[in-house]
Amino acid sequence: MASPIVNAMSVDVEDYFQVSAFENRISRSDWHQHESRVRANVERILDLFDQHRVKATFFTLGCLAEQYPEMVLDIVNQGHELASHGWDHRRVTSLTPDEFRQDIARSKSLLEDISATAVKGYRAPSYSIGESNLWALDVLADEGYQYSSSIVPVKHDHYGMPGASRFSHRVAGGRLLEIPITTTSLMNRNINCGGGGWFRLFPYAFSKWALSKVNTQEEQPCIFYFHPWEIDPAQPVIDNVSARTRFRHYLNLNRMYGRLDSLLNDFEWGRMDEVFLGASVLEPTTDPLLAPKTEVIY
C-alpha cells in the first residue's frame, strides 16, 4: 500500500489588525495603539503542531519579526520553516518594482539575521500577485527566493488568477517555483479549499473531501494556510467596517481551532520546503497562465 501524500501546512503570521480588509480602517501608523495578540496565538499554534508532530512553514511579516524576535526563534527552534510574508503587509499591487524589491529584501535579511537560517519562500500579502504584476516573480528570483506561494487560481474580488495552473510550476525563466494555494474543480470552476476564510465558511466535511480528492484522484500534495488570529475568537472587534468584511473576518472563529485539530489528524503534513523543493526540475514555464496542469513538481 502506497504511503499517504504529505501536504504542506503553512501559517501567515500577521496580527488581527494588520489584515488587508482593515487597511482603510486602521492605518499602519496606528497599529501600535491596538493590543497585539500574535505572539500568544503563535504559541498556541506551536503547541497544537507539537501535539500532532507536524512541522509547518510560517510566512512571517518582517515588522513582527523585528518586534518579537523571540517568537521567530521559537518557530525555528521547534523545527518549522521560516519564510517571508513581506515587511508590513503591503499588497504587491500597491508597490512599484523597486519598492517591492526593497520590501522583500528587507524582510528576508531580517528573518535570516534573527534565525540564522536561509529564507527560501515568500507569500504575498493577500495573494496579491496575479496577471497584472507577474514581474514580481522575477524580482523574487533576483533576490534569492527559491519559491513563492502567492497565486490563488480562483476568481475573487480582492485577489485571484483563475487561469493559472492549479499545481506547482516553474516561473521567472525557471528560476522560481510558484506553489498555488490548493483548489478543487467543481462545475468548471476552481473552488478554494486551501484554508483561510473558506475553511471557516465550508463545513469541515467538504474541506476534508476536497483535499482528499486532490490527494487521491489528482495525486498531488495540498497547500493549506491560516492566520494566528483565526484561532482567537476573543480578539478585539474592529468597529465601523462593512458587513461583508465583518462576516469574512469573524465567521466561525470559535470553530477554527477544533477544525484544525481534525485536519492535522486526518492528513499528513510537512513544511513547504520539504514537500516541494528538491524534486526533479521539469521544463520551465515563464507564465503561470500558460502552465499546463501536467507540469507539476511534487
Q: Split the chain (298 residues) into runs of 10 and give each run's mean pLDDT.
A: 87 96 92 97 98 98 98 98 98 97 98 98 95 95 98 71 88 96 86 90 96 95 97 96 92 97 98 84 43 34
Q: Report pLDDT for 280.
A: 40
Q: Report pLDDT for 185.
A: 83
Q: Report pLDDT for 285.
A: 45
**Rounded-to-integer distance, Cα 127 and Cα 198, Å:** 14
CATH number at residue 69: 3.20.20.370
> Domain for residue 81, yes or no?
yes
Helix axes 38-52, 253-266, angle to 10 degrees: 30
> Domain for residue 1, yes or no?
no
Q: Are 268 and 49 in contact (CB under 8 A)?
A: no
> Domain for residue 298, yes or no?
no
Query: And the C-alpha cell for 297?
Result: 513538481
> Domain for residue 73, yes or no?
yes
SS3 of 293, please? coil
> Domain for residue 33, yes or no?
yes
> Domain for residue 152, yes or no?
yes
Neighbours of 101 (CB within 10 A): 16
Is-above-0.85 flag for pTM? yes
**Rounded-to-integer distance, Cα 229 and Cα 210, Å:** 24
Query: And the C-alpha cell for 37?
Result: 495578540
Q: Report pLDDT for 293.
A: 37
**Rounded-to-integer distance, Cα 180 and Cα 224, Å:** 10
SS3 of 14, please? coil
Q: Report pLDDT for 82.
A: 98
Total domains in the chain come to 1
> Domain for residue 65, yes or no?
yes
Beta bridge partners of 174: none
Q: Are 173 and 280 in contact (CB under 8 A)?
A: no
> Domain for residue 114, yes or no?
yes
Could you tell me the residue range of the domain that residue 130 belongs to?
6-290
